[in-house]
Amino acid sequence: MALDLTPIDARGLTFDVAAGGPEHGPAVLLLHGFPQHAGEWDQVVPSLHAAGLRTYALNQRGYSPGARPAAVEDYRMAECVADAVAVLDALGVDVAHVVGHDWGAMVAWQLAAGQPDRVRTLTAVSVPHPAAFAQALATDADQRERSSYIELFRQPGKAEQVLLGDDAAALRGVFADVAAERVESYVAPMREPGALTAALNWYRAMSLNDVAGPVTVPTTFVWSDGDVAIGRTAAESCAAHVTGDYRFVTLNGVTHWIPDEAPDAVAEAVLARIAD
């Protein structure tokens, strides 16, 4: 799964972007999660391209080798959101349909809430609005149990040792039902020096103070009932934090890795949202 990546200079860093589809089509910004990269969208984008959309799948901060600062505080959510905006600026895109999965969804929610003039529509996959997630962590024992892995991920050195030990067996193990070839495409870059630490710094810099305001743009949230990380309480609470047109799509029997396991469903949700 070799990606055709274009380097984009923004904020003194160099981000790798996989661009595709009709050159002058409406722009779609695709934001990946942990521990993946722009390639997680490669089974989704053909349907978007066929519909006339221009896609930009961004290797985010820490995942692009040229955008891998060392300090934990460099991975605060405000920095990651600013990256997305700066990349859009560098691409000459004033407003985009924004699609995010996992941590990419968190960036997408914050971007839509804070700068709605840059977001035409939002499709968030797996991870709900930050306020819904924070509320579930505070009130729902099931969500606290589901999120208990974060404690490990926030421990410098130990997390890397656990995830990369035994030929990265634990890192491979997080991917559940994802095809082995795709898993290897995600694991291999994480084994490069400094890459996994940079990816884990998103967790180490996270703060519950990063809660976003209400989202006013048309929004779809796609959640799967087989997701071990995000429970139903957080998912169903999402609607309370969207004042724009809102759609909640539940996929049955799919795990957290929705773009890998159900790419057609993701594409359908994105196209339906854009068409409304």
d(CA 79, CA 60): 11
pLDDT of residue 183 exceeding 50, the answer is yes
Contact 73, 120 (CB under 8 A): no
Rg (CA), the chain: 17
Share of the chain above pLDDT 90, in %: 95
Question: With respect to CATH, is domain 5-275 assigned 3.40.50.1820?
Answer: yes
Per-residue DSSP letters for 46-86?
Answer: HHHHHTT-EEEEE--TTTSTTS--S-GGGG-HHHHHHHHHH
pTM: 0.97
Amino acid at 62: G
**Residue 79 tokens, joined:** 């920095």
pLDDT of residue 19 exceeding 90: yes
Q: How is the chain split into domains, by residue range?
A: 5-275
Q: What is the mean pLDDT of residues 265-270?
A: 98
User: What does the alpha-carbon distance between residue 226 and residue 8 come to, in Å, rounded to a whole number?
Assistant: 36
Q: Averaged over 174-201, what is the pLDDT?
A: 96
For the chain, the average pLDDT equals 96
Residue 211's pLDDT band (cuts 50, 70, 90): confident
pLDDT at 1: 45
